[in-house]
Chains A and B, each alone.
Chain A
Amino acid sequence: MDFLIFKAPILMVQASMDGILLGLLFALIAYGMALQWGVMNIINIAQGELVIMGGYIAYFMYTAGIHPAFGIIVSPIIMYFVGWFLYKSIINRVVERDLFISILATFGISILTQQLMNFVFGADVVVAQSNFGTTLLFDDSVTLPNAKIFSALVSIVFAVALVLYMKKSRLGRAIRATSQNPRAAKILGVDTEKVYAATFGINAALCGVAGSLIAITFTLHPYVGLPYTVRSFMIVIIAGLGNLPAVALSGVGLGVFEEFADYILGTEFRIAAVFLLLVVILVYRRFKLSKKREYLK
């Protein structure tokens, strides 16, 4: 077997750089998932669809003649209300129920939104051109689109802003209190229903930001949501709930892994590699814990 990547080591640098920039974006989505998983104890299979929906908002602005980079401001605002609406209509009925019920219900939301996006935006692969140009490194042998650098920076800014918001603001404190003990929070006067709705909205808004960044750096298609859900799930189970540096680190790790898998196995096996990595990680952790007679909780 001869792999191009081992013949030309500079490609490794290229893959690593791409992976790091991509991974920060994944980390942003994963942070949203960790937030609502920690607070509401729900695994949202529709996370990826929320991302793609946010991306289509940016794409819609692009077709209307506005620069798609402004999507990072408009998209989260719209997505916050989408998330809030989803919570009020469906999620609030499954919050207190069995986890499997919520997985299946969000799976239903995922299929529903996929198809609706298919009707509204069509089944074509679309991309919003940002015209940011590219940066060349190491004697022009490594190419980095500026859009990717921009997206990584925006991801960092939003993640840090969210952490500060959760630490300082009143709502942030209410959210953290609810995640620690919803009963006690309720007794102390926190409106948990409102907190849940806000959490789901914030999660959707983060997905909106990530989606509009994906719109300018990658491609959009109604059916590519599920891999984003699986990636963020993977990052969360490695990093734990709500530990931002760990989330960022495992996001970057996943991004680099994916870029290398892309070069070594070929692009057609990229998604399969992501899903198989999920299985490998879960089984590895299960064997590690079973030595102590424990299991993943």
Chain B
Amino acid sequence: MSKNNIIIYGLILVFGIGAPFLFPAYKLQISILWILTILALTWDIQGGQMGYNSFGNILFFGIGMYVCSSVQIGMFFPLSEWTASGGEKTFLHTTSQYFEGFTYGLILAGIIPAIVAALIGYGILGLRGHYFAICTLGIGIAAGEIAGGIELIGAGQGMTVPPWPKGIGGTELRSQFFYYLCFLTVSITFLVIKWIYQTRFGLVLNAIRDNEDKAEAMGIHTMRYKIIGWVVSAFFLGIAGGLMGNMIGYIEPTEIAFAGSTYGVFMVLMAILGGKGTLWGPVIGAAVFHIFKEGFWTFFLGWQYVALGALIIVIVIFFPEGIMGWLREKYPHRFGEVVDEADRTAQVELT
């Protein structure tokens, strides 16, 4: 088992490092795949492991995006003049300014959403089931509407992100830089989440999912764990948002930053498609979903969102257990489950 694991990790590492040279044309697409993987992995902390189906995790993604670029700009230039003038036409970052701003921006893009999650967590994580789902849906959409009304960050028109400095390399270096940063972030996210699931903390999250009242009766401060889980999600989502904003180069409130009807749903869908509540499920789901989306989107030109709606319905109705769930059903011994064949046949006969 562990030998298999080493092979799998090795293959992913080789693919991750070698991909820009093997598939130079798909560099941006693979970078977005890593971002989507972060979205699915962090959603699964709530949706899969903790049993809190959130539609509003996109909030942290959007906040991270806005915080990162605001810091990048605001450290050196007046933010309001930047957004009013359409950005790079009047101001220009030097190379050192760019990287200094980007570093601080990315760090704050992680920290500020985490603080927001901690602040609103106590109120919102006390809701359960569908009330939690609808409440988070409301928060995500309200955030987009509010961001669309604030002049400082460009209101409904959005804002541009500082362009890549002129002095060093061209767009080739830029895309490689962001590619490796995305790969590094997704690797760290994966390892942290893997470690979390192995500790007592992961067991508590599962206990909350299985029966929260009982977990509380056993003396676990469930609220504390729920908030910490949300903070972890928010931290990585914020960094992913900061990266995504810089990669696209342009931020718009409802279509890119707080895009509840695209990325906000994608993250739920990817986790369900891969199999929620498993470590590898969201990763597999993100890969399959992204390949399917990019491969077939062009066939549905203009009809993408109709296809998306149909896809949601089909996945939810026919594959609620996801790919990992299906594999688990098929090869239970691979998942460390001992199957008593005689007992199983007896059960099948009963049903």
Contact = CB atoms under 8 A, between A and B. Distances in A.
Interface string B262-295: 0001001000100000000000000000000000
Nearest to B306: A115
Interface stretch (A197-205, A250-258, A264-272): A264-272
Interface residues of B, number: 37
A43 to B, nearest CB: 6
B305 A111 contact: yes
Contact of A278 (B133, B134, B305): B134
Contacts of B308: 111
B126 A112 contact: no
A137 interface: no
Given A101-B316, A105-B316, A112 B309 contact: yes
How would you classify the secondary structure of chain A's contact residues: helix, strand, loop or mixed?
helix
A108 interface: yes
A287 B123 CA distance: 8
How would you classify the secondary structure of chain B's contact residues: helix, strand, loop or mixed?
helix
Interface string A59-101: 0000000000000000000000000000000100110011111
Contacts, number: 122
Contact of B317 (A90, A98, A111, A297): A90
Nearest to A230: B138
B250 to A, nearest CB: 21
A104 B142 contact: no
A164 to B, nearest CB: 30
B128 interface: yes
Contact of A101 (B142, B265, B303, B320): B320
A5 interface: no
A194 interface: no
A147 interface: no
B135 interface: yes
Contacts of B306: 112, 115-116, 119
Given A279-B138, A296-B131, A110 B309 contact: yes
B261 to A, nearest CB: 6
Nearest to A283: B123
B71 to A, nearest CB: 24
Contacts of A297: 128-129
A279 B310 contact: no
Contact of B313 (A43, A108, A286): A108
Contact of A108 (B131, B146, B310): B310
A233 interface: yes
B53 A268 contact: no
B17 interface: no
Most chain B C-beta atoms within 10 Å of own C-beta, residue among A93, A271, A287: A271
Contacts of A230: 134, 137-138, 141
Contacts of B305: 111-112, 114-115
A103 interface: yes
A218 interface: no
A108 B128 contact: no
A98 B145 CA distance: 30
B325 to A, nearest CB: 14
A275 B130 contact: no
A136 interface: no
A269 B135 contact: no
Given A103-B133, A108-B309, A286 B127 contact: yes
Interface string B24-54: 0000000000000000000000000000010
B52 to A, nearest CB: 10
18 contacts: A94-B317, A100-B130, A101-B320, A103-B130, A103-B134, A108-B311, A114-B305, A115-B305, A116-B306, A230-B134, A269-B145, A269-B146, A271-B145, A272-B146, A275-B145, A279-B135, A283-B127, A297-B129
Interface of B: 53, 123-124, 126-131, 133-135, 137-139, 141-142, 145-146, 148-149, 261, 265, 268, 272, 303, 305-306, 308-313, 316-317, 320
Given A230-B134, A230-B137, 10 more contacts: A100-B53, A100-B130, A108-B309, A109-B309, A110-B309, A114-B309, A115-B306, A230-B138, A275-B139, A297-B129
